[in-house]
Amino acid sequence: MTARELRDQFLSKVEDGTLTERLFSEIPDVVFCLKNLERVYVSANDAFAERVGLGSRWEVVGKTAEDLFPKVLADHYQEQDNEVIESQEGFRERLELVPLRDGSLGWFLASKVPIYGEGHHVIGLASISRDLKIPSGKEQGFAQLVGVVREIENHFRDDLCRRHLATQADMSEAQLERRMKRVFGMSLSGLIRKTRVEHGSRLLVETKKSLSEIAQDCGYSEQSAFTRQFKSTVGIPPGKYRGEFGGWW
């Protein structure tokens, strides 16, 4: 029997339809939800309810993204849902910056996959989003990354050399990537992008600098490159972000 056959044989015997919900209810830093084809939430965990300011996951069920998020974010999530359902292909660990209700910025790794029913027809989608918390400094291997993190914080505007950063940490490039994943939950390039986009998001809200000036200040030689990366991370272009979130909450 192959591994896939063994798995399928066991899962075919599982009667508990709430198994997935119960599992994700035990992971407080992972937001989980299920949507049907009408993009209505049919399941969620308490971490999701907490993120949107509700007291219970049951207050999420029956609502849509438009009911829970500002329109600009709801539209972005709708685009993602359409992409997943129409292509029948999901995405995993997409780095996202999300403005939270307390005015702070939250960094998450989001994944979405289609859900199949009888006849292998798509009946909805599942989504998880993992909070990228700042390391406490006590994680195994963190000490070796301190110099790399400082180098990124101080020189994110420059064209950072992966080999140089690895040498600074006394590791190979492959070792550095594995250590970054374990401690920060993201790749080296992901941390550089996070640092640049976060800096840009603050400049958009806290200053009156032009988009081209902000792009340069974030390490992009062209405004278009900054706009593309900002939009792919936040879901909206920087100009719209400034208009929506400059004093939004």
- pLDDT beyond 60 at 249: no
> Which fold, 142-245?
Arc Repressor Mutant, subunit A (1.10.10)
On average, the pLDDT of the chain sits at 87
The pLDDT score that the predictor gives to residue 248 is 43
Residues of the chain with CATH 3.30.450.20: 3-131
Range 3-131 has CATH code 3.30.450.20: yes
What is the per-residue pLDDT across 184-237, written as a single tens digit (0 to 9) for each?
A: 888 899 899 999 999 999 999 889 999 999 999 999 999 999 999 999 888 889
Count CB-CB contacts under 10 A for residue 91.
Answer: 13
Per cent of the chain over pLDDT 90 is 48
Residues of the chain with CATH 1.10.10.60: 142-245
Helix H segments across 126-237? 142-155, 162-168, 173-184, 188-206, 211-217, 223-234
What is the per-residue pLDDT across 108-126, written as a single tens digit (0 to 9) for each?
A: 889 999 999 888 899 999 9
**Beta-strand relationship, 91-99 and 122-131:** unpaired
Tell me how far apart the alpha carbons of residues 150 and 147 are, in angstroms, rounded to a whole number.
5
